[in-house]
Structure 1
């Protein structure tokens, strides 16, 4: 039987064996979890965006308060009953919005009582699904340990869905393109958010896992005898979690599914949905989406936004956000802490180059409906924030942050990787040299962003070059900033070396590499 172009490419991926036997999904998970966990330890307690509100919400949800006592009106906070050491978390943010103030100004969490105490949270009417998991450590421990445990649980969740993403990516016809796109999508901002108590990162990684596993399921179905049911199950679980993460998550779910339809066309999608595995996947996604909509209307989740009204008209706000579209790209790469830690220009220069290269390739190397989908995603990244901001400008003012649409940015990157399957991946000595240099700079850039953030919290960013002062800093993260940085660099170097071997490896005739799955 004559194989199609896509089937031949998939056969090549199976011969390549993904990351080969030494890099199973478990090894990929361990690598990703280690990177995220080090961000969790390097970031001071309550130094992530709205982490106080999410921690309080999580502690309340696992104690049977998924909604709490809501106030009235837009932006009203919910009152809940939580342990005292959780209720006093907002007091640990003395460094918030002040880059010159170090984390030494905040005391530990364990100094407060565990007695039930009334606390307020701006996340009170958010979907409780994520918080049922993130809040579990509050039932088992207290003090500083509980915050780190909540972060590590979130890190494990995010690492799991990222592993599903790369597992599916390595089995696609355009595997190496998609893997490169996925690596570019792992910006410092994504790793940082994944290490915090915040459902923002979970919606990003579940969007990625949903899209890549749907694509892998369709492609594997086209190849006789190739298993595809596990990819559809992974897509169903990812989509179900995504649907119940945040108020806008259903938009990302629809965008991911529509992206698959535009690449593979309606007939291929309908064919796989009629299979038993496809019917189960559809039922799970529809049920989860219905549950999400029910909570959205029951709890008025969109009424929890806070801000100060502005005299700017919606039309002016829309045009202003259009002009800000490119400045928001910094927040896709990394504006850390409470959005108060701007990274060095060199970090942004490198990541802007990588993002532009992948996104432009997604437009230039595709055609037909696949290109329409790529252009639509790029347009949505610009237009959606402008439209949403314009709707609330008079009531809340300018509240939009780049991380709110980061799930769509990651989806666009992965979409471009999948859609360019008919373009051969570069090979040869020159390509191998380019891969080596780019991966080296990638590692250095990640490490620079990591240690720069540690500098912000150990000695502050006062406009002077104060790197040496870090050796006598009054605040130190868990394990010390020196050890964390060395470990972070070591894990990145290991991951980069494995990735380089995967990208430049040419399968030998008769090779017997072991598939990832």
Structure 2
């Protein structure tokens, strides 16, 4: 049976998808690169360990020497630069200590040295990419280059997400959901050396693509969407130990909210979808097998409290809920750089706005799915810790659940868009909300810069003597970051007005699709 009854529906925004991809790629990279320069070396949790793992991977060292450590932690033989990485975090956990305490990176950086890493068993795919700059002449710029490669990977995933979104017939509320999902914390992670970046933005891409396939099935877009799904799955499912679990939850939720199971059946019966679908399944199974066989969830640096009980775990994690929520929105550095409460309210309020639309205008299945995602975002971490606290202790951080939690605003955006609220209303909301997003993103990077230049309690309108500065001029970092977000606001504003002018034949096709959905339900 032809996919979507053979109906190919015209794109309504009039925006060229390839052009949208390249523009989004440039803007996303500029934003993430801004964050890369806005933090000193090793100012993201575990970056020394990730840098060492990456340098080892590109040199063919896939197994660390764990003979003197607990499982998951070991030593690689690497250039001395990567041992220096462990000496650069004098500011970590001390918010009032500016980054001018960091020693200079100089001297012989190439001498082979034993370098520890507690992510020694992580999947090597991501590290094989960000480790490439370490094969060139070594300097302090090596760490920056490795961050920028990570930023480029995540920028590609964001750009592909935008490519899928602009091809929707009703893109405004799904776009709002995507912007709400990309919290300052997500962008900070995406600018750092950590596989959690591809996990987060791979999850976003997979979520958006799957929802586009079931909410707006379009025969002429099936092939491109299917291969975009493969790319997202590769980076998502192979990123970290829990990624395959998040992938499974995501698929279940998408199937639960599919407007038409007949359309899902047509999708699965379309031969063009079989190879990409098989690759996605294979990648997910590979990620799961790697987690099970490699022991990549082992954390060799953790020494659990032997007096800790299961009840203690539950009580402590419930009490920490507000802190976990803050980490999802924006807690930078080694958990020591906090945003003002009013900024957190703006970030959370943006997600709440689109979530309210999703709940108000969706059917019962959509509301149950949204509630399920939120409850899993709170409950799954407790279950994971209950299964591992004897070996790992209480190590959970809110950012670990971002790949799942960010699904909520995206799903809400699709559910509300499917309800066919007037697109002129959606467009007005999107224009205001994205301006708010741009504002709090600029505030977030400014707070981060202030913390490292002057210290969290330092002055705001002067710079202390001998202050740390980014490796490119501070004014350039801020100017490019602000300019990128201004362009985002202008482009989204233009797209929102185009979306209000969708042609009549698209309206008819939408009505036909909704009629099919009703009969299937």
Query: TM-score, with normalisation over the residues of structure 2?
Result: 0.89
1:442 aligns with 2:437: yes
Contact 2:31 2:481 in 1 (8 A): yes
Per-residue CA deviations over 1:11-64 (Å, capped at 9, x if unaligned) read: 4xx13224x689521011101111001111111111111101000000001111
Contact 1:108 1:143 in 2 (8 A): no
Contact 2:172 2:496 in 1 (8 A): yes
Change (3 A) 1:97 1:75: farther
Contact 2:454 2:464 in 1 (8 A): no
1:491 aligns with 2:463: no
1:253 aligns with 2:250: no
1:458 aligns with 2:453: yes
Once residues 381 and 403 of structure 2 are traced to their aligned partners in structure 1, the CA distance between those partners, rounded to angstroms, is 13
Which of 329, 335, 350 is the aligned partner of 1:339?
Answer: 335
Which of 260, 267, 285 is the aligned partner of 1:290?
Answer: 285
Secondary structure at the counterpart of residue 97 of structure 2? coil
Once residues 274 and 435 of structure 1 are traced to their aligned partners in structure 2, the CA distance between those partners, rounded to angstroms, is 36
The structural deviation recorded for 1:395 is: 4.0
Once residues 161 and 17 of structure 2 are traced to their aligned partners in structure 1, the CA distance between those partners, rounded to angstroms, is 18
Once residues 397 and 82 of structure 2 are traced to their aligned partners in structure 1, the CA distance between those partners, rounded to angstroms, is 26
The structural deviation recorded for 1:247 is: 0.1
- Structure-1 residue corresponding to 2:157: 161
Change (3 A) 1:72 1:91: closer
Once residues 72 and 388 of structure 1 are traced to their aligned partners in structure 2, the CA distance between those partners, rounded to angstroms, is 27
Per-residue CA deviations over 1:286-344 (Å, capped at 9, x if unaligned) read: 22223223322332112225434232321232233234334321111110011110111
1:355 aligns with 2:348: no
1:369 aligns with 2:362: no
Contact 2:109 2:139 in 1 (8 A): no
Range moving further from structure 2, 390-399 or 341-350: 390-399
Contact 1:39 1:192 in 2 (8 A): yes
Name the count of aligned residue pairs.
500
Contact 2:35 2:187 in 1 (8 A): yes
Which of 79, 83, 86 is the aligned partner of 2:82?
Answer: 86
Range moving further from structure 2, 372-381 or 292-301: 292-301
Secondary structure at the counterpart of residue 303 of structure 1? coil
Which of 255, 259, 263 is the aligned partner of 2:257?
Answer: 263
The structural deviation recorded for 1:503 is: 2.0
- Structure-2 residue corresponding to 1:57: 53
- Structure-1 residue corresponding to 2:184: 188
Change (3 A) 1:508 1:280: closer
1:151 aligns with 2:160: no
The structural deviation recorded for 1:143 is: 0.9
Give the aligned CA root-mean-square deviation in angstroms.
2.7
Query: TM-score, with normalisation over the residues of structure 1?
Result: 0.90
Change (3 A) 1:82 1:199: same
Change (3 A) 1:342 1:112: farther
Contact 1:125 1:299 in 2 (8 A): yes
Once residues 502 and 399 of structure 2 are traced to their aligned partners in structure 1, the CA distance between those partners, rounded to angstroms, is 43
Secondary structure at the counterpart of residue 221 of structure 2? coil
Change (3 A) 1:122 1:477: same
Which of 503, 508, 512 is the aligned partner of 2:496?
Answer: 503
Range moving further from structure 2, 61-70 or 197-206: 61-70
Once residues 293 and 436 of structure 1 are traced to their aligned partners in structure 2, the CA distance between those partners, rounded to angstroms, is 40
Once residues 72 and 285 of structure 2 are traced to their aligned partners in structure 1, the CA distance between those partners, rounded to angstroms, is 26
Once residues 31 and 428 of structure 2 are traced to their aligned partners in structure 1, the CA distance between those partners, rounded to angstroms, is 26
Once residues 337 and 240 of structure 1 are traced to their aligned partners in structure 2, the CA distance between those partners, rounded to angstroms, is 28
- Structure-2 residue corresponding to 1:215: 211
Contact 1:54 1:121 in 2 (8 A): yes
1:69 aligns with 2:65: yes
The structural deviation recorded for 1:127 is: 0.9
The structural deviation recorded for 1:102 is: 1.4
Equivalence map 1:195-210=2 (5 Å): 195-210=191-206
Change (3 A) 1:73 1:84: closer
Which of 22, 26, 36 is the aligned partner of 2:22?
Answer: 26
Contact 2:431 2:496 in 1 (8 A): no
Secondary structure at the counterpart of residue 328 of structure 1? helix
Per-residue CA deviations over 1:102-133 (Å, capped at 9, x if unaligned) read: 11111343434212211110000111111111
Q: Which residues of structure 1 form unaligned runs of 5+? A: 512-517
Per-residue CA deviations over 1:233-283 (Å, capped at 9, x if unaligned) read: 110221122111100000121122222211225543343223223211222
Change (3 A) 1:111 1:39: farther
Change (3 A) 1:62 1:359: same
Secondary structure at the counterpart of residue 110 of structure 2? coil
1:99 aligns with 2:92: no
Per-residue CA deviations over 1:335-360 (Å, capped at 9, x if unaligned) read: 00111101112210101211222223
1:470 aligns with 2:463: yes
- Structure-1 residue corresponding to 2:509: none
Secondary structure at the counterpart of residue 298 of structure 2? helix
